[in-house]
Amino acid sequence: MNKAIFLDRDGIINVDKAYVSKIEDFDFCEGIFEVLKHFQSLGYLLIIVTNQSGIGRGYYTQEDFDTLTAWILAELKKEEINIHAVYHCPHSPEDRCDCRKPNSKMLQDAIKEFDIDVKKSWMIGDKLSDIEAGKNAHIDNTIFVNSAAYTEAKHNVKSILESINIVKK
């Protein structure tokens, strides 16, 4: 079985500017390359799980999301970082789908597809719904990256860089 780090996108991979859909609006979070290289060096699969309700709300298209995602993956590849998969929920909250975090369908699909051991895996996010999605997928190892603390998360940090001191194996 494999071990994985599940990562939210907006607020973890990139600066959350609300409904980022264009390359010119995308900025990687400080330290994310270092963090992802660290996780990769420990043998973790890197999987992005992201709510993208901007698609369902008509703010941008699936094609816009796909174009930006391809660019993100190419930029990470230049840094020798391999993202194994990107799962996204294109629905608005009103759609009440199974894939929108805090529901765990995106994570469950990845767990099945990549034969992931949830006991050795992590969920990292900056919103309560990220941590809840991890817990709903039976991932107990969670890191909440936010200036506020969330008691349901196993670890609380203010910067993604701090996760290097937590994820060691």
Q: Please write the tens of the pLDDT for every residue from 96-133.
A: 999 999 999 999 999 999 999 999 999 999 999 999 99
Can you give the C-alpha Rg of the chain in angstroms?
Answer: 15
CATH number of this structure's domain 4-165, picked from the four choices 3.10.450.50, 3.40.50.1000, 3.40.50.1240, 3.20.20.140: 3.40.50.1000
CB 148 within 8 A of CB 133: no
Q: Tell me how far apart the alpha carbons of residues 90 and 97 are, in angstroms, rounded to a whole number.
A: 10
pLDDT value, residue 168: 87
Distances (CA, A) of 93 to 29, 48, 56, 90, 98: 26, 19, 9, 10, 11
**Residue 17: band (very low, low, confident or very high) from pLDDT cuts 50, 70, 90:** very high
- Portion of the chain with pLDDT greater than 90, in percent: 96
Give the global pTM: 0.96
What are the residue numbers of the active site?
A: 8, 10
Domain boundaries, the chain: 4-165
pLDDT band at 156 (very low <50, low <70, confident <90, very high): very high
